[in-house]
Amino acid sequence: MHFRPRSGPKSTSESTYPRILRCGDRAIGIEFSDTVSEAANLKVLSLDASLAAEPIDGILETIPTYRSLTVIYDPKILRGAALGEALMQRATHDTAVPETGRLLEFPVLYGGEHQADLDELAALKNMSAADVIALHASAVYRVYMIGFAPGFAYLGGLPDILHTPRLAVPRQRIEAGAIGIGGRQSSINSVPGPSGWRFLGRTPFKLFDPARTEAFLLKAGDRITFRSVDLDEARELDEKVAVGTAELKEIAR
Amino acid sequence: MTALLTISRAGPLMSVQDDGRYGFRARGVSTSGAMDRDAHAIANALVGNDADAATIEFALTGGAFTADRDTLIAVTGGSCQVEIAGRSVSTWESHLLKSGETLTVGALRGAVWGYIAISGGIAIPKMLGSRSTHVRTAVGGLNGKALSAGDILPLGDSEKRAPRTLGTPYLRGHGPIAIIPGPQDDYFDEDAWKTFLRQPYRTTTARDRMAMVLDGPVLQAFKGHDIVSDATVVGSIQVPGSGKPIVLTADGQTTGGYPKIATVASFDLARLAQLPAGQQFLFRAISADLAEEQTIHADDRLAAVIADLRTSEG
């Protein structure tokens, strides 16, 4: 076989973006950056929107992430080489601005079963728990991507002061709805499972509920604010969510 | 009246699977579906089911089953002891299982994932377009869980058919497992690539439907073992800080933060998944363009096998 992979040191010049990355014989990626940036994420979402509006025959799924768009295709209908060219063409010539995502308000019961993490975070930052809550609830977050688990939302926009490393030892079970901080990222947990993130509280709303008509609450590009609620309001919302009458407040489009 | 299949004994990791859940990776939902798509498709064809019907997948050890209607059954994936009412029957062909008779499926020899297809298919409700079970997130399947003794599964309707065998043998590839370098192939220097393509790796017992952790020489990513999380695909080969490659399989998560040195060619993924623990093998690199050709060719070969089923005697 004469084929040689690209190995690191041979490529001396810095990569230029966007660039095409082959991901096997049924998927291809187009990468806009190798860091987390809102500009790169907007390009990802813009290209994704373009593919939704004017589909290319043979594309089966698109997966937008922080900085790249991965496209799954049927090689019987569409070859990766041709698809890569089409993606580059659209990415470099299409200047369409993606529509601004919805702005949604999530009620959060700060503390609660996550009081220990909240107190520890406050101690680490030399702040009171109330200050941490005020700071966390003051920001507008962007859903950079959905991934890892059904409906799990990776958020950008966490205030710098709250950036905190993950726990050395992950916990075995974190409930759905838990609001977490992992490094410079923030998240809303969607299904119960192990996690090494630190958690400040929980929202009664379910990001993923397969029994609901719309199983997923969020999509990449949506914006989010958090509003602190007390235990009584959280319990009231829990009951409404359980019977399907709770409605997430959409502040703007 | 819906016909029912009762499970009286179940091996570990037994679950309902079909040909996968598509269109939801952008929402964090894994594709799932049979670990060995070809074996699953052949099992379905042998009992007269459509390609998207759900079968029972098992890992290493089967179980015991009874239906309350006459059905056709087929066991594929590898070879193992299969009995109907105490009579030994062959794998990779379909057989009549009369109402009330017990089907027992033993341990696979030289394979890991087996399939039991029943005419009519497992008719549990679909979730997000598929019946496949993703146990980790409780999506699909029978209440999102692995199957166990005492479970009762509804069967779909089916026409009465004669048992069938393969007219064209189904042959797997051999030799090194084909991979396509990337997307983070440039995180690894020439030495790491030489190691990856020239040294043998070994399957281990650290495997499930989500991933296979391989053993072998450590792969160092000179750019580091953390990337800004991006999309993974079924077949992605992640290299975490331990330097031991992890191959993501059917239930693999949709995004990940480890560099992915390569992707297993889709026509070779089931062959890798079927290697018993402790088996040594080599990787070989091919271009994505060539892999596409070979994948299409493999799909055509499978279609030819399925098109050439024959009615068995007696």
Which CATH number belongs to the domain containing residue A72 in this structure?
3.30.1360.40
* Shortest distance, CA A128 to any CA of chain B (angstroms): 31
How close A250 gets to chain B, by Cα (Å)? 20
* Same-domain pairing of A34 and A115: no
Residue A130 lies in a domain: yes
Residues in B closer than 8 angstroms to A5, CB to CB, are 181-182, 185, 193, 262, 285
Quick: pLDDT tens for B2-23. 999 999 999 989 999 999 999 9
Does residue A112 fall inside a structural domain?
Answer: yes
Residues A219 and A182 in one domain: yes
Q: Does A195 touch chain B (CB under 8 A)?
A: no
Question: Most A CBs within 10 Å: which of B139, B197, B228, as the mutation test of the A interface?
Answer: B228
pLDDT of residue B229: 87
Tell me how many domains chain A contains.
2
The chain A residue lying nearest B222, using CA atoms, is A8
CB contacts < 8 A, A to B, total 179
Shared domain check, A214 and A89: no
Domain presence at residue A6: no
Chain A: residue whose CA lies nearest to B266: A25
What is the per-residue pLDDT for B301? 96
Q: B235, A220: Cβ pair inside 8 Å?
A: no
Average pLDDT over residues A204-211: 93
Nearest to B266 among A25, A28, A62 (CB): A25
Tell which wins on pLDDT, A2 or B11: B11
pLDDT at A13: 45
**Please, which residues 128-157 of chain A have a Cβ atom closer than 8 Å to chain B?**
145-152, 154
Nearest-Cα residue of chain B relative to residue A11: B186
pLDDT for B245: 96
- Give me the sign of the Cα torsion angle B208, B214, B218, B221: negative
Choose among B137, B193, B231: nearest Cβ to A65. B231
Q: Does A80 touch chain B (CB under 8 A)?
A: yes
Q: Residues of A with CB below 8 A from B256's CB? A: 148
pLDDT category, A12, cuts 50, 70, 90?
very low
Query: Which A-chain residues 86-125 have CB contacts (< 8 A) with chain B?
Result: none
Per-residue three-class SS string for chain B = CCEEEEEEEECCCCEEECCCCCCCHHHCCCCCCCCCHHHHHHHHHHCCCCCCCCEEEEECECEEEEECCCEEEEEECCECCEEECCEEECCCEEEEECCCCEEEECECECCCEEEEEECCCECCCCECCECCCEHHHCECCECCECCCCCCEEEECCCCCCCCEEECCCCCCCCCCEEEEECCCHHHCCHHHHHHHHHCCEEEEEEECCCEEEEECCCCCCCCCCCCCCEECCCCEEECCCCCCCEEECCCCCCEECCCEEEEECHHHHHHHHCCCCCCEECEEECCHHHHHHHHHHHHHHHHHHHHCEEECCC
For residue A40, the surrounding DSSP H or E stretch is: helix A38-53
Considering CB atoms only, which of A4, A22, A66 is closest to B183? A22
- CATH 2.40.100.10 domain extents, chain B: 177-301
Cα separation, B274 vs B57, in Å, equals 13
The confidence score (pLDDT) of residue B105 equals 98
Among A93, A127, A147, residue at a domain's last position = A93
Chain A residue with Cα closest to B128: A210
Name chain B contacts of A156, Cβ cutoff 8 Å. none
Nearest by CB to A8, from B28, B223, B263: name it: B223
Closest chain B residue by Cα to residue A218: B27
pLDDT in tens, A90-128: 998 866 666 678 999 999 999 999 999 999 999 999 999
Query: What would the mean pLDDT of A68-95 be, rounded to a whole number?
Result: 94
Residues A60 and A151 in one domain: no
Tell me how crowded residue B290 is: count the other CB atoms within 10 A of its CB.
15
The minimal CB distance from A215 to the residues B128, B266, B267 is found for B128
Residue A33: inside a domain: yes
Q: Mean pLDDT over residues A209-225, rounded?
A: 92
Closest by alpha carbon to A71, among A59, A88, A82? Answer: A59
Kindly state the tokens that stand for A143.
């859903």
Q: What is the pTM of this model?
A: 0.94
Instruction: Determine, for residues A220 and B26 on separate chains, whether the beta-carbon distance falls below 8 Å.
Output: yes
Q: Do A24 and B227 touch (CB under 8 A)?
A: no
CA distance B297 to chain A (A): 10
Residue A145's domain comprises 103-252
In this structure, the answer to whether residues A129 and A204 fall within a common structural domain is: yes
- Residue A11's pLDDT is what? 47
The hierarchical CATH code for the domain B177-301 is 2.40.100.10
**What is the average pLDDT across A128-145?**
95
Q: Which residues of B touch A79 (CB under 8 A)?
A: 289, 292
- For residues A134 and A218, state if they share a domain: yes
Q: Give the model confidence (pLDDT) of A14-35 as tens digits.
A: 568 999 999 999 999 999 998 8
The sign of the torsion formed by the CA atoms of A181, A187, A193, A194 equals negative
Asked if residue A229 is part of any domain, the answer here is: yes
Taking a C-beta distance cutoff of 8 angstroms, is the pair A156, A141 a contact? Answer: yes
CB contact under 8 A, A150 and B137: yes
The alpha carbon of residue B57 is apart from the nearest alpha carbon of chain A, in Å, by 23
- Whether A3 is in a domain gets the answer no
| pLDDT for position A30 | 98
Q: Looking at the partner chain, which of A25, A63, A81 has a beta carbon nearest the beta carbon of B295?
A: A25
Minimum distance, in Å, between the CA of residue A12 and any CA atom of chain B:
11
Residue that finishes a domain, picked among A41, A73, A93: A93
- Indicate whether A1 belongs to any domain: no
Are A60 and B22 in contact (CB < 8 Å)? yes
Query: What number of other Cβ atoms are within 10 A of residue B37's Cβ?
Result: 20
Using one digit for the tens of pLDDT, what is the confidence trace for A146-157? 998 999 999 999
Give the mean pLDDT of chain B: 96
CA distance B205 to B210: 13
> Which of A61, A152, A154 lies nearest to residue B25, judging by beta carbons?
A61
8 Å CB contact of A75 and B296: yes
Residue A205 lies in a domain: yes
Segments in chain B below pLDDT 70: 313-314
